[in-house]
Amino acid sequence: MTADAIVARGYLESLLGGLANSPAALVSPKLAWLKTLRAEAVERVGVLKVPTPGDEDWRFTDISALAKQSFHPLRRPTSLQAVDIAHFHIEEATTRLVFVDGVHAPQLSSIGADGGGGDDGDDIVGALAAAIATHGATVRAHLGQHAQFRDDLFTALNTAFLHDAAVVIVPRETVVTEPVHLLFVATQPDVASHPRILLVAEAGSEVTLIEDHLTMHEGAYFTNSVAEIVLGANAQVEHVRVQRDSGAAFHIGGCAVSLGRASRYHSVSVALGAKISRLGLEVVQTVEGAQCSLDGLALIGERQLADTHTCIDHAKPNGTSRQLHKAIVDGAAHAVFNGRVRVRLGAQRTDSAQSSRNLLLSAKAQVNTLPQLEILADNVKCTHGATVGQLDSEEIFYLRSRGLSEAAARNLLTYAFGAEVIDRIPVASLRRRLEQTVLERTTNDPAVPGQAAGHP
Amino acid sequence: MIRAGSKTLLEVRGLRATVDGVEILKGLDLTVKSGEVHAIMGPNGSGKSTFAKVLAGHTAYQVTAGEVLFEGENLLDMAPEARARAGIFLAFQYPIEIPGVGNSQFLRLAYNTVQAGRDKDELDPLEFDDLVREKMKLLEMNPEFLGRSVNEGFSGGEKKRNEILQMALLEPKLAILDETDSGLDIDALRVVSKGVNRFAGADNAVVLVTHYQRLLNHIVPDYVHVMSSGRIVKTGGSALALELEERGYDWVEAEANSAAVAEGASP
């Protein structure tokens, strides 16, 4: 056993050790299927190793720093008051589920008119126990069935710790007009949390989900989240994922999406925080005619690492996929993008376009981008492209010739590069807030775009 | 218009400039006074566009000799943005597309930056919107262009109108229009020319860099200069443009060459 592996085992044991002490099962022990699911996951955690750069999927992402640190499950919940998180609220969303250090906080959550009642009068949004009580069969049919943990240590870990979850079940033909806000707040250092999300959008339904990971402290912690999103025939889901963890945090996020016939899934993922973050997004078009568009932005600096691994699996014919992933990398930061598009035999008339665009703002910044097309069908239209570059000197000169200082010109162009992705967020107040964040993060000079340079 | 007592805006003496080590400007002289309209013509590769970019301070060009004074100040010491604030404006031959930067945001930022640089009042978005819409009306531009990214997806003519719109907003003292007529249909040429004529006044000056005479039917220059091999080799009135249209550039270049030979032969 190598030294790395020993460290890795120690790390896993420290995490698994928490299983026994974790809050007594929040769901009834009668739910044998859930216990079985967890037991299977625990078994896989015992077998799987912490990935190293020796693993193809982790070639550019060295997480040894994560394995060297120890994290424990939450011991005592933080007494967070509603007022403490009021500024994180999103004005369009009156339905909000709040998880503090991974633990559901009903006193901070609220169910708005829209999230409250389906046709059957049951809540559309709730924690796992409530969802099992009202939608037991649906939860059982999907929970743990889409996010595969056999070969994925972090998904296995999350599933091993699966005691609670944010569950959104939108009944057939139901249009949820307000976005549903899932807020995961980190409040304590050294805690490992395993947020879990299940969204089932039944046939013909529509919903917008905001998955929001943020922090109230700048210490180290470990977030290991998994989302499962299922779209029935003709369902439409907008999924906004925002990761603004502390600069010392580790964030491993997984998202498995299953698309039904002629359904439409659109996601915008924005990674701003964490020392090391990884998002694994897998979309499977299980029936004909599904559409997905995946937009992503990583905006990082200093010594941050942000890794985005996506896989769009066109398993059936007539599917459409669009993907735009952008990274803005400053300081000695490192962005990784691996975008796999798989078109299986028989998935004819697939129409897929992928673009990875990367902006390096410093000499030490680094990007690895790897578009991967695997096409087995013969009648398809698939394009992909990747660019890595610096700000365009002609664009800078154009702006300077109109009076903008060089710094203001650079800031504006950097902002614009990121804004293209932010603009695709379908929730106006969140879009404005993130535009402001991007503006602040891309401004290295008092000459803020929007203010006149050189003005007293 | 040539006026008695007008002040000198631009003085270029013996200007030499290189790009990537290749000398493009080889001793250029030009004086521009307020109230004047100058046309600089010449064959492809004669250095017209390089001269325009050097005046605006393009960083790809190195000035190796000569001087350029703008209102008596050394222009070559000034950064591009300082030149813009001082009153130099270059309408680009190929305006740059900037995806993600809204045109109205860009126009207001440029306007307010230049206003601040001149110790004048800045405008808030609502005030600016009124101003820009009024200017757009004169250029027969659809206000819809305010909501789009800078020049992105604009046709050639729309880009040129957007340049003239910027000129109208920034009110420079010296406007250099680099082949603004290229790619314009007859209607667009008329509209753009109207915009330039409305701008040109006693206190500013316009330098038109153009390949063809047809622009000069709409904007009548006081002086026509012919560039060849990085220098101005002939200067005349607006009639010279017509003669060039008829006879081409070869005779001017031949004249210039023989003059140079004669000069070289003299003791």
Bigger pLDDT: A440 vs B240: B240
Residue showing tokens 């200082």: A405
The answer as to whether B150 is a domain residue is yes
Q: Using H for helix, E for strand and C for coil, what is the string for chain A?
A: CCHHHHHHHHHHHHHHHHHHHCCCCCCCCCCHHHHHHHHHHHHHHHHCCCCCCCCHHHCCCCCHHHHHCCCECCCCCCCCCHHHHHHHCCCCCCEEEEEECCEECHHHCECCHHHHCCCCCCCCEEEHHHHHHHHHHHHHHHCCCCCCCCCCHHHHHHHHCCCCCEEEEECCCCECCCCEEEEEEECCCCEEECCEEEEEECCCCEEEEEEEEEECCCCCCEEEEEEEEEECCCCEEEEEEEEECCCCCEEEEEEEEEECCCCEEEEEEEECCCCEEEEEEEEEECCCCCEEEEEEEEEECCCCEEEEEEEEEECCCCCEEEEEEEEEECCCCEEEEEEEEEECCCCCCCEEEEEEEEEECCCCCEEEEEEEEEECCCCCEEEEEEEEECCCHHHHHHHHCCCCCHHHHHHHHHHHHHHHHHCCCCCHHHHHHHHHHHHHHCCCCCCCCCCCCCCC
Burial class from Cβ neighbours inside 10 Å (0-12, 13-18, 19+) for residue B186 reads: exposed
Chain A residue nearest residue B58, CA to CA: A397
Chain B environment of A450 (Cβ under 8 Å) = 105, 109
For residues B113 and A403, the answer to whether their CB atoms sit within 8 Å is yes
The answer as to whether B1 is a domain residue is no
Chain B residue nearest residue A403, CA to CA: B81
The predicted pLDDT at position A4 comes to 42
Q: Would the pLDDT of B4 be above 90?
A: no
Contact pairs from chain A to chain B, CB under 8 Å: 92
For residues B155 and B147, the answer to whether their CB atoms sit within 8 Å is no
Are residues A402 and B117, on separate chains, in Cβ contact within 8 Å?
no
Distance CA A354, CA A382 (A): 8
Q: Which of B83, B90, B109 has its CB closest to that of A404?
A: B109
Chain A residue nearest residue B96, CA to CA: A395
Chain A residue nearest residue B54, CA to CA: A401
Is the CB of B148 inside 8 Å of chain A's CB atoms?
no
Q: What is the pLDDT along chain A (456 residues), one digit of tens a residue?
A: 333 444 455 566 666 665 554 444 444 556 899 999 999 999 999 899 889 999 999 999 999 888 888 888 888 888 899 999 999 999 999 999 999 999 999 999 998 876 655 455 667 899 999 999 999 999 999 999 999 999 999 999 999 999 899 999 999 999 999 999 999 999 999 999 999 999 999 999 999 999 999 999 999 999 999 999 999 999 999 999 999 999 999 999 999 999 999 999 999 999 999 999 999 999 999 999 999 999 999 999 999 999 999 999 999 999 999 999 999 999 999 999 999 999 999 999 999 999 999 999 999 999 999 999 999 999 999 999 999 999 999 999 999 999 999 999 999 999 999 988 999 999 999 999 998 888 888 776 444 433 333 333
For residue B57, what is the domain's CATH number? 3.40.50.300
Q: What is the DSSP letter of B5?
A: T
Chain B environment of A392 (Cβ under 8 Å) = 96
User: Which of A295, A359, A397 to mutate to probe the B interface, most B CBs <10 Å?
Assistant: A397
What's the half-sphere exposure (Cβ side, CA atoms, 13 Å) at A426? Answer: 19
Picking from B236, B234, B262, B238, the residue whose alpha carbon sits closest to that of residue B46 is: B234
Distance CA A232, CA A172 (A): 9
Are residues B84 and A393, on separate chains, in Cβ contact within 8 Å?
no
| pLDDT category of residue B23 using cuts at 50, 70 and 90 | very high
Q: Which of A392, A420, A452 has its CB closest to that of B116?
A: A452
The answer as to whether B3 is a domain residue is no
Calculate how close chain A gets to B163, using CA atoms only, in Å.
Answer: 10
Distance CA A342, CA A373 (A): 6
The answer as to whether B225 is a domain residue is yes
The answer as to whether B2 is a domain residue is no
Is the CB of A420 inside 8 Å of chain B's CB atoms?
yes
User: Who contacts A337 (Cβ-Cβ below 8 Å, separation ≥6)?
Assistant: A296, A298, A307, A308, A325, A327, A356, A358, A367, A368, A369, A370, A386
CA dihedral B161, B165, B166, B172 (to 10 degrees): 110
Residues A121-131 pLDDT 10s:
667 899 999 99
Is the CB of B56 inside 8 Å of chain A's CB atoms?
yes
The predicted pLDDT at position A121 comes to 63
Residues B130-144 pLDDT 10s:
999 999 999 999 999
Are residues A453 and B114, on separate chains, in Cβ contact within 8 Å?
no
Distance CA A438, CA A328 (A): 10
- Domain range enclosing B75: 8-265
The answer as to whether B160 is a domain residue is yes
Chain B environment of A418 (Cβ under 8 Å) = 100
Are residues A400 and B117, on separate chains, in Cβ contact within 8 Å?
no
Q: Which of B56, B90, B109 has its CB closest to that of A449?
A: B109
The predicted pLDDT at position A29 comes to 56
Q: What are phi and psi of A345, to 5 degrees?
A: -55, 130
Q: Would the pLDDT of B39 be above 90?
A: yes
Are residues B96 and A454, on separate chains, in Cβ contact within 8 Å?
no
Picking from B68, B83, B147, the residue whose alpha carbon sits closest to that of residue B113 is: B83
Would you say the C-alpha torsion B125, B126, B130, B136 has a positive or negative sign? positive
The predicted pLDDT at position B140 comes to 92
Is the CB of A403 inside 8 Å of chain B's CB atoms?
yes
The predicted pLDDT at position A448 comes to 40
| pLDDT category of residue B262 using cuts at 50, 70 and 90 | confident
Distance CA A344, CA A105 (A): 43
Count of domains observed in chain B = 1
Are residues B113 and A413, on separate chains, in Cβ contact within 8 Å?
no
Is the CB of B248 inside 8 Å of chain A's CB atoms?
no
Q: Would the pLDDT of B48 be above 50?
A: yes
Chain A residue nearest residue B119, CA to CA: A455
Distance CA A68, CA A11 (A): 7
ipTM: 0.95
* CA distances from residue A347 to A260, A318, B146 in whole angstroms, order as listed: 14, 7, 42
Distance CA A394, CA B97 (A): 10
The predicted pLDDT at position A455 comes to 34
Least confident of A11-20, B75-84, B249-258: A11-20
Residue type, B144: E
Is the CB of A413 inside 8 Å of chain B's CB atoms?
yes
Calculate how close chain A gets to B112, using CA atoms only, in Å.
Answer: 6
Please state the pTM of the whole predicted model: 0.84
Q: Which of A394, A403, A455 has its CB closest to that of B84?
A: A403
The answer as to whether B40 is a domain residue is yes
The predicted pLDDT at position A450 comes to 38
User: How many CB atoms lie under 10 A from the CB of residue A3?
Assistant: 7
